[in-house]
Amino acid sequence: MSYVRYNNANIEIVNSAGKNVMFDGKGGYDGKFNGKADCRVESVDVKPLVTESSENFPEPIAALGSGAVAKVPVVLAQLTVQANVNSVIKLPEYAFEIKRIKKNVKVTQCLLIQDTNILFIKGFVRKNIEYSTRESSNAEGFCGDIKHCTVDVPFNLTTAVNFNGIEPVPPIANTSTEFQYQKEEEIHHPDFSEKDKLLSGDLREFNQISTEYFNELPYCDLVSARIVEFDEQLMPEPLNDKYIVTPFEEKRFRRIEEKMVIFITLRLLQKRLVAIPSVAGAAEDRCPRKE
């Protein structure tokens, strides 16, 4: 059994005797053991396991069928919003080709301003860029590694919402009311008689009734995201090094300009109290109740 190991310039074969045979890339080999460490590839052993099929039996569903009032999310609106993004990404090193770009949309803020229909949306697109680099080359080709770089491209937008589900519950404002008690006291002044008295509110007291209302804030659920993009290398240049030879069409670059159109579909929800009517034929629940 032989194992193949690749180097930049030569092909190295490790035979079953543990000896290294070096091919020089010209159809020959030197036949010498070069003393390198033997990085043998272990054999892969797969043992299939048999999983038996088990039977299952349906059980009656004990649900509340007599009706109830539940606090559940209610759909206020479902919409698709468009975000246009233009950015320039600088790679940490020179690259020769973009191999793959993986994208994921992340939303960090989705806020409806109460008493308006304006929705604020903030987030970013996480992009994992795989690109090729150069390790060795000649006039006929070059070899290198595939590396990756992960960047977050932010976006920020506002949009007017058409409530095609149900209008949100308007917030109830907090209240604060001050009140006073009457105070009666004698007046010690030469312009007033002994029978005169001062009737007024007591300024030495502060009395107040405050009420707070904890309203349900609308929130968003992501449904889907679609990205249409155009990526372009900026200022690709050939290698200006007389000691490095590459194929004539190869150029290197570090900056990428991207243009993205992002379509985000989301639901705007708010928790509401909903009356659920009774259901005939529902299985009786076994929850203990207080008589």
Residue 223 covered by a domain = yes
pLDDT, position 273: 92
Residue 265 covered by a domain = yes
pLDDT, position 14: 46
Q: Quick one: 133 and 266 in the same domain?
A: yes
Mean of the pLDDT values across residues 260-280? 92
Q: Do 60 and 282 contact (CB within 8 A), yes or no?
A: no
- β-strand pairing of 219-234 with 182-186: unpaired
Question: Mean pLDDT, the chain, as a whole number?
Answer: 80
* Reported confidence tier of residue 246, pLDDT bands at 50, 70, 90: low
Using CB atoms within 10 Å of the CB of residue 165, give its burial: 0 to 12 exposed, 13 to 18 middle, 19+ buried.
Answer: middle
Count of other CB atoms within 10 angstroms of residue 3: 14
Q: Do 22 and 10 contact (CB within 8 A), yes or no?
A: yes
β-strand partners of 137: 142
Residue 108, domain extent: 69-169+217-276
Spell out the residues 6+ positions from residue 15 whose beta carbon is closer than 8 angstroms to its own: 2, 21
Residue 78 covered by a domain = yes
117 sits in the region (left: phi over 0; alpha: psi -120 to 50; else beta) called alpha
What does the pLDDT look like over 100-148, one tens digit per residue?
Answer: 999 999 999 999 998 889 999 999 999 999 988 877 767 677 777 888 9
Q: Quick one: 139 and 242 in the same domain?
A: yes
In whole angstroms, what is the distance from residue 138 CA to residue 65 CA? 78
Provide the domain count of the chain.
Answer: 3
Using CB atoms within 10 Å of the CB of residue 130, give its burial: 0 to 12 exposed, 13 to 18 middle, 19+ buried.
Answer: middle
In whole angstroms, what is the distance from residue 207 CA to residue 209 CA? 7
Residue 269 covered by a domain = yes
What does the pLDDT look like over 54-93, one tens digit per residue?
Answer: 899 998 888 888 888 999 999 999 999 999 999 999 998 8
Using CB atoms within 10 Å of the CB of residue 1, give its burial: 0 to 12 exposed, 13 to 18 middle, 19+ buried.
Answer: exposed
Residue 282 covered by a domain = no
What does the pLDDT look like over 205-232, one tens digit per residue?
Answer: 888 899 999 999 999 999 999 999 998 8
DSSP letters spanning 206-271: -EEEEE---PPPPEEEEEEEEEEEEEEEES-B----TT----TT--BEEEEEEEEEEEEEEEEEEE
